[in-house]
Structure 1
Amino acid sequence: MTDPLWDSDEAPEPVIISPLGWIRVLLRGLPLAGLVFGGLIVMLMVRLIEYPLYGLHRPVTPFITQFVCRNAFRVLGMKFTSTGTLMTERGAVVANHTSWLDIFALNARKRIYFVSKAEVAKWPGIGWLARATGTVFIERNPKKAREQTKLFEDRLKAGHKLLFFPEGTSTDGLRVLPFKTTLFAAFFTDHLRDILYVQPVTVVFHAPLGEADRFYGWWGDMEFGPHLLKALAAPRQGSVELIYHTPAKVSDFPDRKALALHCEKAVRHAHALARPNGQSGAKQG
């Protein structure tokens, strides 16, 4: 069973690309593809040496991912900023979810490993990148709950910072949906509760001048290809802002619901301040 996709009451703006826009697609798209897939090849080659020596530990390849993602914004011409202190404690990171661009933004600032639904592993292109960068794939199958909890424990004990999107779906970027509590349960096992922290992060996209506020949002049944082309073709680019909040110690909370609510409130409050014209509401389609 998969989470329902959030959808807007208003249809997304049509993707119309001018002749000049197609030139920008080529000028940005070709270097971006070279950067991403070139980085993937380098990463796979390094991993051939890294894995036999270090196993789950990845002392080198996360830096390659970070380099690729940070420079992706330079290729796109998007401004990238972040505030707040990165967590040094062992644990996980949670953030609101707007677009596939979140993956680049969050990897650009911090060496992390995403937690994603199992179906993503089968997606062409994105699935390959996800597997290569150490993404943890999970299935919404109660029969595998124990197995997946053990996987979480192994990765967290290895020092990996696991990142997931508690909203369970992406939005138009104008709101923060209620955080689902399911994945927070893994932090409350006897082996993890007293040693882990969770750091909330607010991701805010600011649209290019003259474009709709939800320009970078990717939601509902929007296709990846047209959305990517729209971003590449934009005459001017907007920006993405990351706001890192104080890490929360898991043992300070009685249960997963209390911890999830604390993280949601931190993300929602900062999002409202950064996007005063946005919506804090949470209707799901």
Structure 2
Amino acid sequence: MSTWDSDTHPPHPAMGAGAWLRVVGRGLPLAVLVFGCLAVLLLVRLIERPLYGARRPVTPYITQFVCRSAFVLLGMGYRVEGEVMSGPGAVVANHSSWLDIFALNARKRIYFVSKAEVAKWPGIGWLARATGTVFIQRDRRTASAQVAVFQDRLALGHKLLFFPEGTSTDGQRVLPFKPTLFAAFFAPGLRETLSIQPVSVVYRGPTGADARFYGWWGDMDFGPHLLSTLAARRQGSVTVTYHAPVRVADFGDRKALASTLESRVREGLIRSLQP
């Protein structure tokens, strides 16, 4: 659940017969897609793991296929701007919704970095583990071990994705990036070689709907939000903008790095939201 909140939530229309038909018409194929491909991924992983270990040469393509297809089934527009960074590195993005997982995986093979609690969430935790999410403890005593995990995964060519806001919002703003997250990037062996690509994820609600329609924050429950998304008569769109990567070695400290990345992501959001 998001720790950010506002005074109001976007209104959602009552669920009539037509809305429930749209829920079934979109939700059933989406469930078949996600859980069917998850079964395929787990079977492939039985072969992939002993042969390649943490280096996943096949299964990320299954994840990409699912995420791209999800927007087709939802009837939701999906657009990409900018060039995806080549080579290993980290990615940071603003966080608005559970839909971010689909939006960011659809174009780029990435591995999310998430708080350890997510691994225990029913359903979502299982999906996260299956797709190679890196779980971290918010404890300084484990900082050196986490840096070692980051180094190992980056050495395999993985792109690790972080949400530096630490929570999700209504999609109309970018919260301050938490500089603590970036301390690991300044560790010897990472600072000299690591590049980070800032990414802006921007949602536009369905025509006539609240601009915050796809945002998921505060005490909003996942189930009702999913239902309202599936039930929309007309869907909106999401634009994912990849900005130029920055080199960690070009910054003196984590605060300067966090501030620059935050500014790039915010500028991309503001620019995309302009009429």
Length-normalised TM-score, structure 1: 0.94
CA distance 1:138–1:15, shift in 2 (3 Å): farther
The letter of the residue matching 1:31 is P
Cα deviation per residue 1:31-90 (whole Å; 9 max; x = unaligned)? 000000011001101111111111110100000000000000000000100010000032
Q: 1:80 and 1:11 mapped to 2: Cα distance? A: 24
Q: 2:180 and 2:30 mapped to 1: Cα distance? A: 35
1:123 is aligned to 2:126: no
1:9 is aligned to 2:14: no
- Runs of 4 or more above 3 Å deviation: none
Residue 185 of structure 2, aligned match among 184, 187, 198:
187
Q: Contact 2:143–2:184 (CA<8 Å) still a contact in 1?
A: no
The letter of the residue matching 2:69 is N
Cα deviation per residue 1:235-266 (whole Å; 9 max; x = unaligned)? 00000000000000111111111111111111
Q: 1:18 and 1:142 mapped to 2: Cα distance? A: 50
Counting matched residue pairs gives 275
What is residue 245 of structure 1 aligned with on the other side?
243
What is residue 106 of structure 2 aligned with on the other side?
108
Q: Look up the SS of the partner of 2:73 in the other structure.
A: helix
How do 1:1-285 residues align onto structure 2 when only pairs under 5 Å count?
Answer: 5-14=3-12, 16-276=14-274
Cα displacement (A) at 1:276: 3.2
Q: Contact 1:97–1:173 (CA<8 Å) still a contact in 2?
A: yes
Q: 1:137 and 1:253 mapped to 2: Cα distance? A: 26
Q: 2:155 and 2:180 mapped to 1: Cα distance? A: 20
Cα displacement (A) at 1:10: 1.7
Q: 1:212 and 1:200 mapped to 2: Cα distance? A: 27
The letter of the residue matching 1:117 is K
CA distance 1:198–1:35, shift in 2 (3 Å): same
Q: 1:126 and 1:86 mapped to 2: Cα distance? A: 27
Q: Identity rate of aligned residues, in percent?
A: 65
Cα displacement (A) at 1:12: 4.0
Q: 2:229 and 2:130 mapped to 1: Cα distance? A: 25
Q: Look up the SS of the partner of 1:32 in the other structure.
A: helix
Cα deviation per residue 1:153-212 (whole Å; 9 max; x = unaligned)? 111111110001000000000111011112211111111111110000000000000100
The letter of the residue matching 1:65 is T
Q: 2:127 and 2:237 mapped to 1: Cα distance? A: 24
Q: 1:141 and 1:161 mapped to 2: Cα distance? A: 23
Instruction: Name structure 1 gaps, 5 residues minimum.
Output: 278-285
Q: Contact 2:198–2:243 (CA<8 Å) still a contact in 1?
A: yes
The letter of the residue matching 2:156 is A
Q: Look up the SS of the partner of 1:163 in the other structure.
A: strand
CA distance 1:170–1:63, shift in 2 (3 Å): same
Cα displacement (A) at 1:221: 1.2
Instruction: Name structure 2 gaps, 5 residues minimum.
Output: none
CA distance 1:79–1:11, shift in 2 (3 Å): closer
Length-normalised TM-score, structure 2: 0.97
The letter of the residue matching 2:155 is K
